[in-house]
Amino acid sequence: MGERYLKSVRLLAECMQAFERVSGDAVRRNGLTHAQFDIIATLGNTTGMSYKELGERTLITKGTLTGVIERLEQKGLVLRERSCDDKRSFFVRLTPAGDRVFCDVFPKVIARGKELFAAYSDADFATLEQALGLLRTRIGSNDSGNDTGAGADNPAPTPSYLKETP
């Protein structure tokens, strides 16, 4: 590897792939992709939300969101309804079957994540978050053509289920 940063980028990608493999067992056993789980986890414990809000709260690009929701609808896990306010937009919510999947899978994914990070101290988390936040900011400041609206002043959103709770 000629460029020093490539080693770090590769390590970051390997960590993300490994995390998805290890934490995603319950997701895969339910026949879901990570993107589908992202939607289910975001809609869980809510009355539903618009496509726009889902796009802002998930890690799914706008171009992919519609297809993911359509596949979840075909599986009977979400329901799309036309917005009363704007007939061009849709409101998406979990069906009872989708809620059952959420109640089954979400706690398993969270428990597995807790196991993986059990040895991390608050200082370890702070160091990791500082380094990743700086990287996200630097990448965002050089990414003017993305379709998520992310940038230095508007970083990519953190899915609601990954945000800290008070």
Domain boundaries, the chain: 4-139
Would you say residue 140 has pLDDT above 80?
yes
pLDDT averaged over the chain? 84
Cβ atoms of 26 and 109 within 8 Å: the answer is yes
pLDDT digits (tens, 9 = 90+) for 18-45: 988 887 888 998 899 989 999 999 999 9
Question: Do residues 42 and 54 make contact, with C-beta atoms less than 8 angstroms apart?
Answer: yes
Q: What is the pLDDT of residues 44-65, one digit of tens each?
A: 999 999 988 999 999 888 889 9
Fold for the domain defined by 4-139: Arc Repressor Mutant, subunit A (1.10.10)
Distance, CA of 23 to chain centre: 13
pTM metric for this prediction: 0.74
What gap in Å lies between CA 27 and CA 109, rounded to an integer?
8
Binning pLDDT at 50, 70 and 90, where does residue 99 land?
very high
Q: What is the pLDDT of residue 119?
A: 96
